[in-house]
Amino acid sequence: MDERDENSNRKTFEMLSEESGLAIAVVDNHPREVYVSNNNSICRTLNPDGKFSPACAEYCGKALEMTAQSGGTVAFECHAGLECRAVPVKNPNTPLVAIVGRTFVRSDNYRRATQRSMKGDWRKLAPAELFDNVLMSASPATLDRTARQVEELIANARSQKKAITVKTDAPIRTTPKEISNVVERFNREIRRDTPPTGEPEQIRVEQVVEAIPEAPPAPVVAAPVAERRSPQTQAWRSFFGSLLKSDYSTACETILDFVGDRFALKSLVWLDRHDNRLENTVAIGDMKNRKIRLGIAADDHRLIEAAESEIPLSLGERSGTTKGVRTMNLFPIGVGDEISAAIAVLDTLDFAVKTQIVKVCRSLAPQIEILRLRFEVKEGEALTLAVKRFGQNLKKIDSDDFWLRLLQSSAEMMRSERASLLIHNDRSEKLDVKAVVGVKEWTKNNGEIGGRVARLVFDKNKAVAVADVTKTGLPPANPERQYKTKSFMSCPISIGDRAIGVMNFTDKPGGETFNRSSIDLFQAIAPQLAVAIDRASFKHKAGELAQISVTDSLTGLLNRRYIEARLAEEIKRSNRHGFPMSFMMLDVDHFKSYNDEFGHPAGDEALKLVGAVIRDTLRGADVAARFGGEEFSILLPQTTAEEALAIGERIRHNIEHANFQHRLVTVSIGVASCSAELCVSADLVSAADQALYESKRRGRNRVLSFEEIGGRRNV
């Protein structure tokens, strides 16, 4: 193949890649990429120089081998969850294979990629590069169709022994490269004068294809672009082209404004999926500041069928006025068989408008998922940093003003000028006010705090965020309280499934409202709050619970009974919410000889100092306990294995350099972390103990993880 042939084929590959919204990569037998068009940014980041990483080498790196064994095109899904088609390329000089796709087809694969970036093996990669151009296809049919086009291109070139090129006197596409084929298909459909038939749609290439140098021109398969593009079409293209340049929340609002203006609608709501529920996050027109409660789950078969059949789901909606019952048309948005969002319209719609809105939702789905992914990664990074800072602030809180400082730190985190903290009193069965911020003076004359909302939140153990309290039907607050805004949030504080208190927040600066994101932020710090409050409560009850004391009398740390109970609760939380969690076992090296040489009183003093060093080294949410004898254990909520090893190393170093009275004292530490396979109390303790044993066997005064020693669950 000469240089002219190679360049012309590359132009055609680029055209197919642009048209389909998929990546097309050509790989040789080394293996390495020799050409790629519209590459998925995940692939580009994992293989920056075109040479495959070990993980990618098992898939794209073996694509040539797979096609040689099968004798034709092979479909595969790689380790990143990307769907691909490998098409063999007969080349007289070097064996080649064309890899078509590199796209997400299933939403669960897409979600796993997000988790790998935030908490898994991709967390060290820059999210801005990793998700810069994420490809997503509506269905495997797009991949199969594009793979067939590549097969035909290769077959034609081989049979004619000539290269295929494309005239470039008209642009291939006017939308940005990252806009998917779904958008392009929508733009073609919107230009048609009649609705599409039930026949399978064929890709229309708006160019002239010819052979070089002497073959007769191929027929034009579509009318010239200039004759077919109307001002309306150009407006659609401009709108879709701008979406990926905005953030997720702005895009949702922009879409509602666009649909409202385009179809003269007055009542529209954007619904986002949260915990298998569709909740309104943005609204325009008559629906602004109104709460919508849907009677169906996000995974309800009716929503999935509506998305597949491209017919909106009609629901009865009682408006609460004399107008009686109105019809809500729900237009699902999703990728594959998972609904992630929806547009709700309460205006009266005819069939033509419904059809157009369905096309909008279908076309938007891949872009919305890409924006959502970017948003989740960005929010995840910000949330991790905020939670870390919050934990550092908790550590600085002393016992004298514990409740007030705890509430002040929480209110600062939630950007709330006024807040209250209520703790359940097991004897009186009431919520006792522990602290209030943002109020100069509070007395019973101001009314009982928590009487309107907090008690309901506590009993149901479920957080609530309200944008406008006047529209909830709640009794009005005492005017003496002088609230600045109408928005508030009330959140339970729980240990396991047991609520122990409630925090209330209101009066955000600038009149901002509390929403679902506010609840998510609070739930991220809730485990640390629960641990801090639980410890404070146990210390307060120490005298009453003398027979079952949770505190070790020698070191002042918690005891084994407490740590085992807390470990079980944190494992439940980790399994339920996917939070990372680690557990650490620590043993004082050669402690028996220390006792034998210097006496047991000296040994007790050494253990006290070890306990003090551990307590001073840990963060506010961490829980340390004396497990027994010279053995200690540490529970590290929301802590990855890598972070746990770093904490363990700090503890080991600080103990080694502490000023013990008689001689140097060191410790050996074993670490185990929750995973999909290892997140049961007994397994986690046993795994940490195995790592501790191996640490002592390898010479003591070191930190080892269960994963490092190649541990196997033999419990």
Residue 22 in 3-state DSSP?
coil
Residue among 541, 556, 550, 531 nearest 621 (CA): 531
β-bridge mates for residue 278, sequence order? 273
As a whole number of angstroms, the distance between CA 641 and CA 583 comes to: 9
Is 173:185 a contact under the CB 8 Å cutoff? no
Is 594:603 a contact under the CB 8 Å cutoff? yes
Measured between alpha carbons, how far is residue 495 from residues 394, 461, 501, 568, 569 in Å? 18, 11, 10, 11, 7
Q: Is the dihedral of CA 493, 497, 498, 499 positive or negative?
A: positive
Is 15:203 a contact under the CB 8 Å cutoff? no
Is 343:255 a contact under the CB 8 Å cutoff? yes
Is 47:33 a contact under the CB 8 Å cutoff? yes
Catalytic residue among 33, 206, 630, 694: 630
Is 140:105 a contact under the CB 8 Å cutoff? yes
Class of residue 219 by CB neighbours under 10 A (exposed 0-12, middle 13-18, buried 19+): exposed
Altogether, the residues listed in the chain come to a count of 715
DSSP state at residue 230: -
Residue among 74, 198, 209 nearest 144 (CA): 74
| Pairing between β-strand 83-89 and β-strand 96-103 as defined by DSSP bridges | antiparallel
Is 87:73 a contact under the CB 8 Å cutoff? yes
Residue 600 in 3-state DSSP?
helix
Tell me, yes or no, if 630 is annotated catalytic. yes
Residues classed as catalytic: 630
